Chains A and B, each alone.
Chain A
Amino acid sequence: MVDTVSEVTLDFITPDRHQVAWSALTGPPAPDPRVPGIHARELTLRAGRQRILQRSLYRGPGADPGDDERRLDAEIAAGLRLARRYPGDAYPHTLPRLIGYRVDVERPYVLWQPVDGDEIHDVVSGLDNDALDQMLGDLLGTLVQLGAAGVVLRTIGPRTVVWTGEHVMIRGLSHAVLTGTPRTPLGRPPFASQEQRRGTGLADPRDDVWSVVVLLGDLLDPDNDALQERLGARYSVLLGDALQPRAALRPTAAELLRQLGRRAPAPVAHPAEVERLATGRRRFDEVFQRRDQSPTPARRAVLVPEQRRRRWWRARPAASHAAPATPRECYLCLDPVLWAEQDLYAWTDDGYQPLDPVSLGSGRRRDDRLRQAFRRCPNPSGDAPPHYLPAAYLLGGPPINVGLIGDSGVGKTHLLAGIMREIESDVLARFGIMTSAIDIAWHDQFRRTRVHPLYEHHRTLEYTRRTDEVDFADGLVLSHGPHQRPLMFFDIAGEMLSPEHQRTRATQFLAVVDALIFVADPARAEPDVTFEAVLDRLSHRRGADGLLDLPSVVVVTKSDLLRLEEPVDRWIVRADLDQRWADPRQVTAESRDAYAFLHSRDRIPQLAPLNRCRRATLHFASATGASDADGVFPFGARPHRCAQPLVSLLDMLGVLPGPPDGNGAT
């Protein structure tokens, strides 16, 4: 074996968020046998000769980062949680300490303090009673500290626990996850619980309780009378409820310690940032207490198509393309538009050309023609140039106009591209909603200029230009059974939403919006006044309780940049859309965390939608999942949680069909 030693410079971020550069000597990296995509090597610092362990992601150029990157992220997030929850001497002596990390490089890595010692399995027989007591207390005490930080190790077993000569230590956090993360199958019997092995439910600190108790049972072999005598009654206590198949029925590590008559580690004072988050969560709850309202937004009943009074002598209209009797508001001029089949147009290379009503024909021919037809807005007020609305906007159920709000550069267009990408991948079909384009050519234009450049060519999208006249960005028809509703998205240059531009015609569409997506950029230093400016403009739509009846979501976008920060780390990696009906409280939990996150960073104006709208949720999302390098995403761009805000909006609008029977949401 060729053992080459080389010098490297480590340029990394510490848990205190400082950037430091260290020079170190190292040998070649070797794959971690437990995580093939992660390579590990030991380094020796030039200064002080201190040893550190580097675990880095190994991936070929252009390779999909996939699970290994997520696993490394989870490992770093867990290490950061512990380092920030237990700063300095308060850090548990039984856990390895995270020294630093770097994720915005080709090979992301994490640096750990190495763990020395003998595997506990090899030395347990030589331990005296005091040492066994020490081991028991260390392991359960560690679980208490991990639980307080919201970390689940998932890998406690005879090969991952070592004895240093004075106490036990956990070898690493390579498979650690945060509490509440959906479980993935991991581990083997007997050390992993059945729930964990199957990957069902959410990760729970009591998953580790199972592992510790089984480990103790394995170490203190029940057939070994001497050991059993040494532990006595306490051992049987441990084997009681701690091995319940469901984590929810097991005692916590703190309860076990109490049963054993031992004191759990004293809780440490929360660092300032954790305290700020706690304050934000309390504020979130206070908002709803004041209103005497549940923080989980009530779902509206699914809307049936517009009620029409049908004269007895008139035949029932065909289910498809039922023309609404009530006029719709034009999103371009705000005048009422009534469906008129005698005044239809088609888009051609020479612009809009009138369609002969006779040429529409009937049956499928008529359906096909209407699919591509436009109705000229009569614009009786005469204050706008001639304009045309897609027929699909005027047919079917009442339209849903959704505006994206936020200053220039916060990521509105990227988020919309992410939403459309998620819709393309059929996320709404899980809720029984099928989608089709309002206007096929228009939708294709959005795909070619927004979705494909970002997700196929991996390039940042262009700045959205200011224009004199604003069109919808993209539109879909949502279908659930015979019901159809148009869904229109409006995405304009952020400058046009600033208070001094609110009077222009380009922002008139705000008068007809049915829902709003507020985009909050957490990395932005400058204040964003567009949220309040838009809410002020719509204040005439407030109800008797003073709240706007306008379903709104606040999306903390670019969350990938903060994916290792609490509480973003808890949400951004989750794919929990399927859990929506099973546990609607998750939406509230995410909203509470997002509110606390923005509150802790003094982004008070970004919280205005929750404070001023009757129904609002907050979400973490990332349209790209990674940072760009000079306008290019070297490892591709993927939407993360971009569907959640849309699903929440549709739920608040009463568009989502109800949960399937037996799926407890009320």
Chain B
Amino acid sequence: MTPGVDDRVDVVTFEWTHRLEQGGSGLGVVRSSLPDHERARWNDVLGTRVSVPPGDREASTCYLRFRGRAVLLHRTPAQDLLHRGSTRTMALIGPPSVLTLDRAIALRPGTEPGDGDGPYESYPSGWADASDGDETLGVVAKEHRDRAITLVAGLLDTSQPDGFAIRAGGADPRALLWVASRCLRSDGWTFSTRESLTTTAGPPMLVFATGPPPQSSFGFRRQWLDLSRPPRMRQSTVQEATRRVDEVLAGRSRTAVVRPPRRRNDDRAPGVRQAVPDRGSAAAGPRTGLPGAYLVRLSLLLVWSALFIVLLALAGQVQP
């Protein structure tokens, strides 16, 4: 039976090719089960997401959401036809109910999913076979309990609209994601297990950095979480994070209801962004939410009130 438009899962392969379907050469769709009219759009949407970071030799996975569809990328470093370092990426595109966050986290970067033609009615077995179970991820997560606590505390502590860049410090990003997604409400989360261009905003929300932030003309717009450093947060937040992580690792909890990180860009066309001040601009701009500004406003209010009272008194004294 051919799956319907909304519930079908398509598989797309991106590689560098001399002759792209839309003309010219480059990294683009070389094989796909997508309908013809969808191919160019997804090539455009995913074009900036399908490469492994420059200089990287490790495979990675990435989970994205665009216009109600979920995308799961499996990116492997490869040599292109000109013998240059490039990427071979396999992508699944389907409904979020099939391409769930759990399945995305479970997919092993080091194992290329079984090749198939698609479209599929459900999560393809070749991809399921290349995934780890909860037990495996749970065991790995226990080895990185402290980092998981720092991650969860960091996510609890702030709602960062432009996402997070995370230095995992040698821990498996998937294990950390596995714990975090069970500690916090994770609807709409998107992630990448390895990136170097971590300064840009937008999806994915959680990005694991391959190294220190490279210099860019654009300031940081993500919140940095360095999991190898003790968290500098409120003690209560850390305690709450510790409790939740321990519950998950002990197998007592699935998901607690907490304030979720704010979602953005899920339903926005790719490339359309809002200008958001970074740290530098915040430092230079008006500090409207700070205590100093509050005191100033309070003083102004008092001054205006006093003036109003004086005027009223004067008005009462002047009789026609």
Residues of A within 8 A of B (CB): 332, 343, 345, 347, 349-354, 376, 379, 382-389, 407-409, 439, 441-442, 445, 449, 460-463, 465-469, 471-472, 493-495, 498-501, 504-505, 524-526, 528-530, 628, 630-631
Contact = CB atoms under 8 A, between A and B. Distances in A.
9 contacts: A345-B280, A350-B224, A384-B275, A385-B221, A408-B16, A463-B84, A463-B85, A468-B48, A526-B24
B275 A383 contact: yes
A498 B213 contact: no
Interface of B: 16, 18-20, 22-28, 44, 47-48, 51, 54-55, 79-87, 197, 199-202, 212-221, 224, 271, 273, 275-281, 283-284
A388 B284 CA distance: 14
Nearest to B197: A467
A386 B218 contact: yes
Nearest to B82: A409
Q: How would you classify the secondary structure of chain A's contact residues: helix, strand, loop or mixed?
A: loop
A608 B79 CA distance: 32
A92 B18 CA distance: 43
Interface centre among B19, B48, B79, B273 (most CB of A within 10 A): B48
Contacts of B85: 460-463, 631
Contact of B280 (A352, A445, A529): A352
B179 to A, nearest CB: 27
Contact of A460 (B23, B84, B201): B84
B275 A385 contact: yes
Interface centre among A386, A407, A445, A501 (most CB of B within 10 A): A386
Given A407-B25, A460-B83, A495-B27, A468 B217 contact: no
Contacts of A384: 275
Given A385-B273, A467-B197, A351 B55 contact: no
Contact of A350 (B16, B26, B86, B279): B279
A407 B26 contact: yes
Given A345-B280, A631-B85, 17 more contacts: A351-B199, A352-B219, A353-B279, A354-B283, A385-B201, A386-B219, A386-B281, A388-B218, A389-B217, A409-B18, A463-B16, A463-B27, A466-B47, A467-B197, A471-B218, A494-B26, A499-B23
Contact of B55 (A442, A449, A528): A449
A307 B44 CA distance: 45
A445 to B, nearest CB: 7
B281 A382 contact: no
Q: How would you classify the secondary structure of chain B's contact residues: helix, strand, loop or mixed?
A: loop
A409 B19 CA distance: 11
A525 B24 CA distance: 11
A21 B222 CA distance: 61
The 7 closest A-B pairs by CB, nearest first: A495-B26, A462-B85, A408-B26, A631-B83, A351-B220, A352-B280, A463-B86
Interface centre among B271, B273, B280 (most CB of A within 10 A): B280
A53 B120 CA distance: 64
Contacts of B224: 350
A495 B48 contact: no
Nearest to A352: B280
A530 B24 CA distance: 8
Nearest to B218: A387
A100 B221 CA distance: 61
A529 B279 contact: no
A441 B54 CA distance: 18
A529 B216 CA distance: 30
A386 B25 contact: no
Given A467-B197, A494-B26, A409 B219 contact: no
Contacts of B275: 379, 382-386
Nearest to B201: A385
B48 to A, nearest CB: 5
B280 A442 contact: no
B84 A445 contact: no
B47 to A, nearest CB: 5
Contacts of A498: 22-24, 26
A529 B27 contact: no
Contacts of B281: 376, 386
A408 B27 contact: yes
Contacts of B18: 409, 524-526
Contacts of B20: 495
Contacts of A530: 24
B26 A354 contact: no
Contacts of A631: 79, 83-85
Contact of B271 (A471, A504, A524): A504
Interface centre among B202, B214, B219, B221 (most CB of A within 10 A): B219
Nearest to A345: B280
A332 B217 CA distance: 9
Nearest to B40: A500
Contacts of B55: 449, 462
A351 B280 contact: yes
B217 A387 contact: yes
B47 A495 contact: yes
Interface centre among A343, A466, A504 (most CB of B within 10 A): A466
A167 B107 CA distance: 79
Contacts of B48: 465-468
A147 B283 CA distance: 73
Contacts of A445: 214-215
Nearest to A472: B217
B22 A500 contact: yes
B54 A468 contact: no
Contacts of B276: 385-386
B38 to A, nearest CB: 16
